Amino acid sequence: MSSSIAIDPPLSVNFLAGQRVPPVLRPVDRSGQMMKSPHIVPVTSRREFLQRAGCGFGALAFSYLLGMDTRVARAANAKIDPLNPLASRLPHHAPKAKSVIWVFMEGGPSHLDLFDPKPALNAMAGKPMPESFGKVITAMGTASNTLMPSKRTFKQHGQSGIWISDWYPHIAEHADDLAILRSCWADGLNHVGSVCQMNTGDILAGRPSLGAWAAYGLGSANENLPTFVIMTDANEVLGGPKNWSSGFLPAAYQGTQFRSDGTPVFHLSPPESVGDKQQRSKLDFLAMLNKQYAADKLEDSELAARLNSYELAYRMQSAAPEAVDLAKESDVTKKLYGMDEEATRKFGANCLLARRLVERGVRFVQCYSGSGSAWDAHADIEANHSKMCKSSDKPIAGLLADLKARGLLDSTLVVWGGEFGRTPFNEKGNGRDHNPWGFTIWMAGGGVKPGSVTGATDEIGLRAVENRAHVHDIHATILHLLGFDHTNLTYLHNGRDERATINGGEVITKMLA
């Protein structure tokens, strides 16, 4: 399909010029030029938003209709529920992945010691970085420090022969499932900006998180659960909820942090002094009040939506605890995720929860490993990464194995990575500083090319040099796998058709199956 359709003009724009006009469907090319025209007028109310979202996504579904499965498109188009912003929607093209599980190694894992072996670095160990590598400003002012070798043993694994170090023995067993991207780069120097960019595309907070874009684009597949869920294994993620914010998108699309103790969502159960039957009776009374109020306001879909939201809340009261109840999982499964060992128990439980959520239709799950920047190995990277790798290796390998065994890996995109990598030069003699100029992430399942390696850094692993992939490219690729043309999933804000990839982003086609 070489073209998609945009609405021109949007339904309500020409109102004052006369009668409402039906939207004109106008083909636009996919080179990125199409965004000039269809400025969708921003919404002022939820009501208006729903109308817009309705016709906007209707048009998107229509593009699907032209090139793809006609019956599916029609059905989905009809299913758009004007009362619910999270109504399930079809993306632009047939998706490879229905859900994303992003295991986020917060603090910056060292690509040089995990997935990107550099014999030249070991050879130049102890020397200053040659001037030919250029000047960099680092977070800790370490650029003139000497180069530090990797103490890891790298081996090739699987049929694909992918290099993985001895810090990740369990993940290495899945080498043939991984699509490794060794040429990532980002704009930030500090954690908070970089974590923010990896989530929202910008080092400055305020934009919607990729998970919020996914929720906006796809809606929910299970309205009894949040669409976008975040789990942490230690402290608060740097920058906190900004990282799963809906930014300028409506609040319905923001991520929900599942707590590991108590109820997964705040206020999920009624206060102690209110019984179940009593709660139901209250809600019935509330519904009656709302129906009486709406009796002469039937045209107001917002009122109906609010009435409905209480019923959704009521269902979430039972659905969410069920989703996070690990008691039903077998000991074998728990062991697979490392839940039987202290070092891996917490993160393993989160990975298992992620699988349960994805099974139940949650679109986007993020599990932070070392939340609060525990991977940040400025000193003694050996001790730090030994610990962090141990705590994440088995749970992630378990997740891949479990998803595969249940036939979910094909429809679930697993993303591994941090906010940046680490420097080839030392910090404090045995640590590494932040490196946003070159680092590695990998993806598995959900339509990526299994057992592949894309891109390369320079000979010491400082900068990405081949198939350079900016964060926007990573986001474009994830959206592509979810069925979106990233340049066409937009929301008008402050006079601009904003998109997840801001002004950039290209799908990394070499990573695709």
Partner 1 sequence: MVKSNRSSTVHLALAAFSFITAASAAESAEREFTAQERSHWAFQKVTRPQVPIISDKNVRSPIDAFILAELKARNLELAPAADKNTLLRRASLDLIGLPPSPDELQAFLEDDCGHPFERAVDRLLNSPHYGERWARHWLDLARYAESEGFKADETRPNAWRYRDYVIKSFNNNKPYDRFLKEQLAGDELWPDDTDAIVATAFNRHYPDESNARNLMQRRQEILNDITDTVGSVFTGVTYGCARCHDHKYDPILQSDYYRLQAFFANTAADDNIILASDDFVKQHQEQLAFWEKQTRAIREQMIEIEEPKRAAIIKDYVEKYPEEIQAALAKPESQRTAFECQMVAKANLYLSPSSHQYIASTKAVVASLKPEVKKQWEELNAELRGFDHLHPGLLPVATGITDLSAASPSTYLLSRGLYDAPKDEVKPGFLAILNPSPATVSQPPKRDSTGRRAALASVLTDPRNPLTARVMVNRIWHYHFGRGIVGTPSDFGLKGDRPTHPALLDWLASEFIQNGWSMKHIHRLIMTSDTYRQASAYNEKAGRIDPENRLLWRFPRQRLEGEAIRDSMLAVSGRLNAKMGGPSVFPKLPTGMTTRGGWDLNQDEAERDRRSIYVFVRRNTRYPMFETFDMPDTHESCARRNITTSPIQALTMLNSDLTLGWAQSFAGRVLALAGTDRHAQIEAAYRLAYARVPNPAEEKSIRSFLDKHRAIVAERAATGAKLALPAELTDKMDSTDGAALVDFCHMLMNANEFVYRN
Single residue of 313, 343, 456, 512 touching partner 1 by CB under 8 A? 313
Instruction: Provide CB contacts within 8 A for 75, sequence distance 6+.
Output: none
Cβ proximity to partner 1: between 277 and 328 the closer is 277
Note if the bond before 128 is cis, omega within 30 degrees: no
Q: Which stretch binds partner 1 (CB under 8 A): 166-174, 305-313, 467-475, 481-489?
A: 305-313
Single residue of 110, 150, 197, 256 touching partner 1 by CB under 8 A? 256
Q: Which stretch binds partner 1 (CB under 8 A): 38-46, 324-332, 377-385, 405-413?
A: 38-46
Name which of residues 158 to 197 contact partner 1 (CB under 8 A).
189-193
Name which of residues 116 to 145 contact partner 1 (CB under 8 A).
137-141
Cβ proximity to partner 1: between 290 and 430 the closer is 290
CB 155 → partner 1: shortest distance, Å?
A: 37
- The verdict on 252 binding partner 1 (CB under 8 A) reads yes
Tokens representing residue 275 in the block: 């019984």
- The verdict on 303 binding partner 1 (CB under 8 A) reads yes
Contact present, 329 and 271 (Cβ < 8 Å): no
One-letter-per-residue 3-state SS of 142-207:
CCCCEECCCCCCEEEECCCCEEEECCCHHHHCCHHHEEEEEEEECCCCCHHHHHHHHHHCCCCCCC
- The verdict on 146 binding partner 1 (CB under 8 A) reads no
- Helix residue ranges, H only, 380-470: 381-405
Exposed / middle / buried, residue 361 (Cβ in 10 Å: 0-12, 13-18, 19+)? middle
- The verdict on 45 binding partner 1 (CB under 8 A) reads yes
Q: Which stretch binds partner 1 (CB under 8 A): 117-125, 158-166, 173-181, 268-276?
A: 268-276
Single residue of 92, 152, 182, 242 touching partner 1 by CB under 8 A? 242
- The verdict on 296 binding partner 1 (CB under 8 A) reads yes
AA letter at 264: P
Q: Is 228 helix (H, G, I), strand (E, B) or coil?
A: strand
Single residue of 131, 261, 331, 342 touching partner 1 by CB under 8 A? 261
Cβ proximity to partner 1: between 238 and 365 the closer is 238
Contact present, 401 and 141 (Cβ < 8 Å): no
Bridge pairing between strands 456-457 and 464-466: antiparallel
* Distance (Å, whole) CA 34 – CA 366: 32
Counting residues that bind partner 1 (by CB under 8 A) gives 93
- The verdict on 33 binding partner 1 (CB under 8 A) reads no
- The verdict on 41 binding partner 1 (CB under 8 A) reads yes
- Residue 429 CB coordination number (10 Å): 10
Cβ proximity to partner 1: between 131 and 331 the closer is 131
